[in-house]
Amino acid sequence: MFEPGTLRVTCIALLVLGALFGGAGVALHVRGLLLADAVAEGGGQAEAACFAAARRIGGAVAPTAEGLILAVPDTADQRTALTDASGLLAFCPGMEMAYFCMGKGCGADGKVAMRMELRRAGS
C-alpha cells in the first residue's frame, strides 16, 4: 500500500511533529506556573502600596487579619479627610470599605476624628 521509503519519511515527520507539540505543551504549562507565582507576588506588592497610602494619610494604621484599620484622632479639615479616605480605596483595589465614621462621635475628647476599616473583598 505504501512504499517503504514514504512510510519511513511519514513516520519520522509524525514523530518530529509529536515531539514539537509535546514540547510546546510542556512550555505552556511551565509558563502558566511562572505567571501564577508572579500574580501572587504582585498581590503582596498591591497590599504594601495600600498600607503605604494609608500611612501617608496620617493617624494610626493597624493591620488586621481581614485588612486594615485607619484611625485619625484629630481631623482639622473634614473635606480633605473624606477625599483622602475615598482616594485610599483607589490604592487598595482588593479591599472594600467595611466601616467609616467621621465626626465628633468617632473620637475621644469631642474632637472631630475619622475611623475607617478596610477588608479584603470576600472576607
Asked whether residue 69 carries a pLDDT value surpassing 70, the answer given is: yes
Is the overall model pTM greater than 0.75, yes or no? no
Query: pLDDT tens digits for 100-112?
Result: 999 888 877 778 8
> What does the H/E/C string look like for the chain?
CCCHHHHHHHHHHHHHHHHHHHHHHHHHHHHHHHHHHHHHHHHHHHHHHHHHHHHHHCCEEEECCCEEEEEECCCCCHHHHHHHHHHHHHHCCCEEEEEEEEEHHHCHHHCCEEEEEEEECCC
Q: Is the pLDDT of residue 40 over 90?
A: no
Mean pLDDT (the chain, rounded)? 86
Residue 42 has pLDDT above 60, yes or no: no
Question: Quick one: average pLDDT of 11-21?
Answer: 94
Residue with cell 509529536: 18
pLDDT in tens, 85-104: 888 888 888 889 999 999 88
pLDDT at 43: 59
